Chains A and B, each alone.
Chain A
């Protein structure tokens, strides 16, 4: 929530570090994330690189195809950045959208330049599903290649469309992930599960269930992400900086550690039916209170009880 900032009458509102990450547009997030004035966009809206496929469906197009890519600086350190716009077609990944991110990651590998991805996506864009699916596969390959070259690929998860489908697999290949409570990270979305498996399996209207199953707090508690931050632009900036301090390493040892970590998770929690049961087993005393906890209370408990990923990612 944005707390009121005292200001002289009629003065324009100052740039507010408390602005909600969830509420911001892709461009708004970038403008608050990066050092002021440091951002240069590649293939910006003036280039009008629109989707060649949406017209077939009489659907409107967006000048940037729902992703902003470019270069900027974070606390003086140069980075490459990509920000998805979750409000345009749910941030879905199509041919142009995907290719922009692939190209950025290829450059990152060659430049040994760290990348920050601001996820906000429902996954593949159905109207160009095959192109989107392949783009995701190419992005994953480009991501792991960049990491092998020593590049950090940091994912920020707190957008209104969440991070679903193929987007969640890309996130799973990042070197570090930062999430807010609002962030959702999952392959199948609630509506998809309900449509395919019935409301008994998943009631997508039960929003609390959605967050208990795939929301930021759960993902942080089970070690699915590395940092948990408030839903503000300033917190995500601090989170991105901290994530960029983590190692990029991706090799046999890291993957063996991830294998062990994920096997331990299944052994420890695999028979639970609900997030609250997982949290209880982690040793959280009042697991049903977790959703209502504010940031500080949550972090106090979570940092004592959570499963960490310990760079096994």
Chain B
């Protein structure tokens, strides 16, 4: 397993009040994303565990775009990856942020 961590500056704080959200499952080509609060409002920390080694540059690109585009400020995000494609990762991250905005 490869473990990656990205500490990113964000442009927008996360919305909603929900303390935690989980989207996706760990399956082939899929991933689960756990979102929790607790970071500073202008920052987002993403930890990734992936069985696919050597894709750090892709994770870097996807997470950087995510932090720049989404309301992710204040979130601590943990990812268990099942070998998802970048488009699936981006979709799950977007879904996670939306879920945090929804009431429980």
List residues of A whose CB falls within 8 A of some B CB: 25, 27, 37, 45-46, 48, 55, 58-63, 85, 87-89
Contact = CB atoms under 8 A, between A and B. Distances in A.
A61 B26 contact: yes
A89 B80 CA distance: 13
Interface in B40-86: 49-51, 78, 80-83
A60 B82 contact: yes
Nearest to A65: B26
Interface in B8-58: 20, 22, 25-27, 30, 32, 34, 36, 49-51
B36 A62 contact: no
A89 B26 CA distance: 8
25 contacts: A25-B25, A37-B104, A45-B20, A45-B22, A45-B32, A45-B34, A46-B20, A46-B36, A59-B51, A60-B1, A60-B26, A60-B49, A60-B50, A60-B51, A60-B80, A60-B81, A60-B82, A61-B80, A62-B25, A63-B22, A63-B78, A63-B80, A85-B25, A88-B25, A89-B26
Nearest to A50: B80
Contacts of B30: 87
Interface residues of B, number: 19
Contacts of B51: 58-60
Nearest to B80: A60
Contact of B26 (A55, A58, A62): A62
Contact of B1 (A46, A55, A85): A55
Given A58-B1, A59-B51, A63-B34, A88 B26 contact: yes
Contacts of B22: 27, 45, 63
**Which secondary structure dominates where chain A touches chain B?**
loop
Most buried by A among B30, B32, B36, B50: B32
Given A48-B78, A58-B51, A61-B80, 15 more contacts: A27-B22, A45-B32, A45-B34, A46-B34, A46-B36, A58-B1, A60-B26, A60-B51, A60-B80, A60-B82, A63-B80, A85-B25, A87-B27, A88-B27, A89-B26
Ordered nearest first, which 5 A-B pairs have the shortest CB separation?
A87-B27, A62-B26, A87-B25, A60-B26, A88-B26
B20 A62 contact: no
Nearest to B50: A60
A62 to B, nearest CB: 4
Interface in B74-103: 78, 80-83
A265 B2 CA distance: 53
